[in-house]
Structure 1
Amino acid sequence: MAQKRTGLFVTYIGAFIQAVITVLIIEYLYRGGFNELIYYINELTRPFAYNCLLLFLLFSGIRAFKNRMVLLLSAITTIPLLVLAYGSKVKQEIRGEPIMPSDLFLASEAKNMIGFFSSATLIWLVIILILLVLLISFSVYVIPNQKKLSKIQISISSVSLLLCFTLFFVESRNIDSFLKKELRIVNVAWDQKATYGQDGVLAGFVLNLNWLIIEEPNVYSKEKINEIIKNNQPQKYISSTKPDIIMIMSEAFWDPTLFRNVNFSQDPLPFFHEIAKEHTSGYVSVPVFGGSTVNTEFEALTGMSTQFLPPGVIPYLTYVKKPLPALPNILRSYGYETTAIHSYHNWFYQRTNVLKYLGFDQFIPLEFMGNPTYGPIFMKDKTIVDEILQKLDSESDSNFIFAITTQNHGPYNSEEKPENSSIEVDLNGEQDFTIESENLLVNYSNNLLEIDSELNRLIRELETRKKDTILVYFGDHLPLLGDDYQVFREADYYGGDRTYEEYKKMYSTPFIIWDNFTENIEELNISSSMLAPLVLDRANLNGNALTDYLINQYKKNALTNIPRQDFWEEEHIKQNTLNDMKLLQYDILFGKMHLIKDKNSINVSKNYRLGYKDPKVTNVIKEKREGTSLLIIKGENFTPYSNVFVNGKKIDRQYGNEEEIVVVDPGENGVVEIVVKVTDVNDDILAESNLYTIE
């Protein structure tokens, strides 16, 4: 009996040691050094103990199984936690916040983030992962299993596992439990870096699982929604004209001349600065820094604020699963043709489906751009401006175009400057930029100069048109200029003091509202969620209950900017105003949409499609060049993503343009069926041509 007790003691002491060691490794990976780890253990002992308790119960629970299964289950639970810890460190250095539960929906964003890792780091990560798998496989094979587990061990482990899951579910749902209070576990919803820093990685992640569940507000009802609408009746517009409306969200567009301690050899945004003096301009408060573009996009198109949603959540991936009363839907009800254009893949952030639900008639991703021009990484703005002008020349009476450009998105080259650089930078005073920071800023600024030139070209073209036109141009977030705000720190622009003034600097991008039919000039500081109601107001068009509410509050000067929650008091926003907006937003996203009187008006476009037109094959010519038999496919609407299929088999392109694709003749006998299909990098078919047969 004594031997059994000793064995049980050793078993669960082993589980405790395993839990402590795992937490130590997790926190070391996240915090990045032994000094930081020691500080966490000494100064935040209770949160450290909380993390150890969670894992101790888990590791004790899996000891209801035999040795080999214990090892396997330990690996299955531990490896993801280590990845979470290191991934949170990397994401925090780049974006300023750790990995959140909502990031689990971000497969496409994860692919994009790989570009920020060095090749050496990626190689080491792969090597370590392979070694871990080999070590675990070897250990599972070598370690002997017990013949039989005692009933006491099975009982203790079962109770531990039950306690673990109970604690997990109770603690993830209860933000303010007795245990959390005693162990000093907190959730700073607006600052997850602080949450993870205080609570630890595991506890911080578990705590944020609560935010994935949206609970119905106590006061939510049809009567309450109608009361809000009744108290905010909009001005009724009578518009004889429907101006073309263009919104351009330029990724990572920002004004580096805001660095007061930096000298630029020339202005990187000469035209933007000139036009901003002559038209409505200012700053847009955006919800993200350095990435998560679609949160700014979501706000700009819907009028809703992500500040009322769980931290780190991406509405496009989690909530936009049905038609919503967004700006494209509103404008389509007025007879507008609504077009989204983006110089990136159709599948990124699930835009193909999301833009349909927001009310667009068509979405033009990079797969449908016939003659694109590329920079070092992304498509140049020239291509997008060409697409916009082409669309404006179409037969549509009124156009709404929402374009997203990517030319200036990171990562930026930190190793060298561009050839024939037009802009040089240096710091005032005795301090100099590090080489990496100087290269980052020079590359970013040179890109801006080119982007500014394309904005100039677009507006000069719009000035020649007789049709009334509104153009809104804004950035989605500030650029990532080095890890841990490297360039911003060296330029003495950011110090990490967490004041409202510093928050505004890091979460505000410049914007203009240009038009050719008013003389209205304002200097504004607004949230990106105010863009849709302001555009409708400028066009003399009524919106839905939410946009009407927002424009009413804006004109009363009661609501212009919705910052992060901890800064609401700084904006002097009345609590009842925030409560009303939260309810209207809940009604749209999660409720019964009481604010929409005619539910049938919120629907997807029957004509929704990718691209303007399908490819069309008009002729196929067989030809021999330099001894090689070729098929020359003649037609229309071909793009670099248009591929030739012969009798159902994809044939590699030799070369091609918008009217011709050349492939090697596969030498098929008899009747040969030829189809041109637009396919993306995942080999999904997005569009296809008519069937063309030859013999």
Structure 2
Amino acid sequence: MSENTTNTSSSSVSRSRWRLWEDRAEADEVTPKHPHRPFPGWLYAILFIVFDAVAVAALEVGVSTSSTRVQLSSPDVGFNFVTKLWSEGNAVVLLNVLLVGLLYLMLLMLFNRFWTASAVIVGVAIFVAAIEHFKIEIRYEAILPADLNFLGSNTGNMLTFIPAGAHVTILIALGVFAALLALILVLRHLDGRKGRMIRSGNIGLNLGTRLVLILLPILAFSLYCMQVSTTDSWANKFSHAMGDKPSMWDSVYDAQRNGPLVAFTRQLHPKVMNKPDNYSEETMKQVAARYKKAAAKINASRANDLNDSTVVYVLSESFSDPSRVPGLKVNKDSMPNIRKIKESTTSGLMLSSGYGGGTANLEYMGLTGLSMANFDSSLTSPYQQLVPSEHWTPTVNQLWGAPANSLGYHPYESSMYSRATNYKKFGFSHFYTLTGPDVIKYQDKIDESPYVSDKSTYDSALEGIKSGKTSKFIQIITMQNHMPYHEWYENNDFTAESTTGTPLEEDEKESIETYQKGASITDEATQEFLDELDKLDKPVTVVFYGDHLPGIYSSASQDDDNSLALHLTDYFIWSNKASGTQGNKTGGSAYSSPNFFVAQAADHMNAKVSPYLAFLTEMHAKVAAMEPPVVNKIQGWDRIPEGQSIYLDHAGNPMSEDDFDEATKQLLADYKLIQYDITAGKNYLKDTDFMTLP
């Protein structure tokens, strides 16, 4: 007998045995051993949707049942996650069902058993929901992509998500899963088919079909995850069309509002920025060498060391000058002290990327020296989309050495913008907030205001500034003037009126007048804070800036010609007597943006710089301020607006990239190389002395 004949005969026997096995299996479905008839296909389809919905519900319950106070209350959370489908036409719940369904289908084909896949998808959803619940209880933060590291070398850190008394939640979760598993087992018993999906007598066709039906949902889910964070991609448009409304300032609210899976996937693969064509290790070495020479030239004429002084950054919530708002007349000055301070020190106007929001982006730029103008429009919140997954996060405070020398103060919830996690990554030893784990000491409020006063925040920070003999970096983020603005203050004699001929609406008028009073209280508290610093016998320099205007000027914001005016806040750099640089006024300070503050502070302090600070010094000499395009509305989190970034010269006039001279074009190209290397590249600069002070 020939070899071919033998192979053919063996193949025929195999197919015959497979058909015999199939025939017996089908016969078993109707024999007394298996008296139940197989479920019809349409019933499987209904049950697929039911278990899919159960998994989505479990995930939503996980982020919505924490006893921790929701920071930004909204009817979008809780039960409305489902009801808004018919009340508002918002189909984000269906988007979550679709995404979970893709994973469910993949499991279905992997196991080729409906009931096994159903038990797994429901079990995993309940497990993840429990972890979400625990993490929110402890940190008020939803599960982020960076938490996937726990599945590797940091698995033990999963225990940090388990709070005291967790056994009750665990027992409830186990009870719910046991009940659902019992239901699944009963249905399996009633199903004569036992949930087997692909039953072809052809082994090759069976495996091939399953493989295709495994790969297709994996491909669809993967493509969605890769594209959903990229502005104008098909996944991004589809997600928004289904009702996804990114809420990047608060990961828990985002998960509650849009579903945990949707909120999670948008942070998996954000487009950070385009890779420069000439990016390479050799190019970055050249950049580092170029600004090492620039630093040496600058340092030749400077006498002080930057980190021999304590430097305090004060991000004053929504602080700005109401008298500069177009079409608005105020009855008196709400910032006389700060106006006087600005006249006697380095100061000017800061170009803000936000209006009524976006605080953390200005904060990020101030701490890193990087610019939002260089990022892709898809990257709307570095604190949420970028920092958690970064391997290298050089920040200003690290110039002061050990984490013990970096302290942060913010009289609000520590989880906003994932600050607690990010500040630890930045190298802060303590970040004092209302919710801890480091609790801010002074928490007084003014009259009916719901926010901690600036005076209390300053008093808390003063204790940190005074403690110990070493110099420190202090980060202060105030909350007193955060929106909304109602009639909070007693004896408020501030008034505002329109000069356009159209009177202000009552709500706008009330908000502006309340805000004016709050700004005047900030003005007085800031002067008192500086007076206290002036009494110290150790050098201290303060960088004070308003992050954005409050989003209350609805009349002025209707005119796009007012955009620049509505994105300029006040800033100053001040030093105490002990510093020896009090009263310094550096050139080119009339306009700035927060990415340049550290370089300006070094200039003001006559302090030596690193190659990085030398670069920022040269960049600021050519471009006074830079931000991405702006809009006259409270910042959303879908995207940074399209268009050319805003560049201002030192007279505050807009500049076009096309009109830059060659030196400016080179600096801007180098900026993009530096920023790409730090945030999205291979961190070639990390192995150089680019960030090192002399």
- 1:466-485 CA-to-partner distances (Å, cap 9, x unmatched) read 98764321123444xxxxx5
- 1:361-381 CA-to-partner distances (Å, cap 9, x unmatched) read 887778587666444544433
Whether 1:8 and 2:99 are equivalent positions in the alignment is: no
SS of the residue 2:268 aligns to: helix
2: CA distance between counterparts of 1:159 and 1:279? 69
CA RMSD, 1 decimal: 5.9
Say whether the 8 Å CA contact 2:54–2:122 is kept in structure 1. no
Whether 1:236 and 2:236 are equivalent positions in the alignment is: no
Shift of 1:223: 1.5
Q: Which residue of 1 aligns with 2:350?
A: 284
2: CA distance between counterparts of 1:359 and 1:217? 29
Say whether the 8 Å CA contact 1:171–1:207 is kept in structure 2. no
Return the index of the structure with the highest Cα Rg. 2
Q: Which residue of 1 aligns with 2:454?
A: 381
SS of the residue 2:557 aligns to: coil
Q: Which residue of 2 aligns with 1:423?
A: 494
TM-score (norm 2): 0.58
Residues 443 and 453 from structure 1, CA distance in 2 versus in 1: closer, same or farther, beyond 3 angstroms? same
2: CA distance between counterparts of 1:153 and 1:272? 75
Q: Which residue of 2 aligns with 1:493?
A: 556
2: CA distance between counterparts of 1:152 and 1:427? 71
TM-score (norm 1): 0.58
Q: Which residue of 2 aligns with 1:509?
A: 569
Q: Which residue of 2 aligns with 1:163?
A: 216
2: CA distance between counterparts of 1:192 and 1:217? 31
Q: Which range is displaced more, 164-173 or 303-312? A: 303-312
Matching of residues 438-477 of structure 1 within 5 Å: 440-460=511-531, 470-477=541-548
1: CA distance between counterparts of 2:229 and 2:464? 54
Q: Which has the larger share of helix?
A: 2
Say whether the 8 Å CA contact 1:337–1:361 is kept in structure 2. yes
2: CA distance between counterparts of 1:505 and 1:133? 57
Matching of residues 507-656 of structure 1 within 5 Å: 508-514=568-574, 516-520=582-586, 522=588, 524-557=590-623, 560-561=626-627, 566-571=642-647, 572-573=656-657, 577-588=667-678, 591-594=682-685, 597-598=688-689
1: CA distance between counterparts of 2:145 and 2:359? 15
Q: Which residue of 1 aligns with 2:383?
A: 314
Whether 1:402 and 2:478 are equivalent positions in the alignment is: no
- 1:548-586 CA-to-partner distances (Å, cap 9, x unmatched) read 112112213387445557343553347764442233234
Shift of 1:404: 0.6
2: CA distance between counterparts of 1:240 and 1:598? 20
Shift of 1:529: 1.0
Shift of 1:285: 3.6
Q: Which has the larger share of strand?
A: 1
| Gaps in structure 1 of 5+ consecutive residues | 41-46, 85-98, 106-130, 480-484, 604-695
Say whether the 8 Å CA contact 2:454–2:478 is kept in structure 1. yes
SS of the residue 1:271 aligns to: helix
Shift of 1:394: 7.4
Residues 533 and 434 from structure 1, CA distance in 2 versus in 1: closer, same or farther, beyond 3 angstroms? same
- 1:29-66 CA-to-partner distances (Å, cap 9, x unmatched) read 5996769639x9xxxxxx99998865654454566655
Q: Alignment length, in residue pairs? A: 533
SS of the residue 2:685 aligns to: coil
2: CA distance between counterparts of 1:183 and 1:470? 44
Equivalent residue letter for 2:375: F
Matching of residues 289-308 of structure 1 within 5 Å: 293-306=359-372, 308=375
| Gaps in structure 2 of 5+ consecutive residues | 1-25, 31-36, 61-75, 133-141, 149-171, 200-205, 249-253, 576-581, 630-639, 648-655
Match of 2:284 among 194, 208, 225: 225
Equivalent residue letter for 1:313: P
1: CA distance between counterparts of 2:626 and 2:236? 40
Say whether the 8 Å CA contact 1:341–1:384 is kept in structure 2. no
Residues 208 and 576 from structure 1, CA distance in 2 versus in 1: closer, same or farther, beyond 3 angstroms? farther
Say whether the 8 Å CA contact 1:68–1:145 is kept in structure 2. no
2: CA distance between counterparts of 1:193 and 1:558? 32
Q: Which residue of 2 aligns with 1:676?
A: none
Whether 1:37 and 2:89 are equivalent positions in the alignment is: yes
2: CA distance between counterparts of 1:20 and 1:447? 48
Percent of paired sites with the same residue: 17
Whether 1:146 and 2:188 are equivalent positions in the alignment is: yes
Match of 1:328 among 390, 397, 406: 397
Shift of 1:453: 0.3
- 1:510-554 CA-to-partner distances (Å, cap 9, x unmatched) read 212345243446553332111111111222333223221121122
1: CA distance between counterparts of 2:667 and 2:84? 43
2: CA distance between counterparts of 1:430 and 1:600? 53
2: CA distance between counterparts of 1:78 and 1:403? 39
SS of the residue 1:249 aligns to: strand
1: CA distance between counterparts of 2:196 and 2:41? 11
2: CA distance between counterparts of 1:594 and 1:542? 20
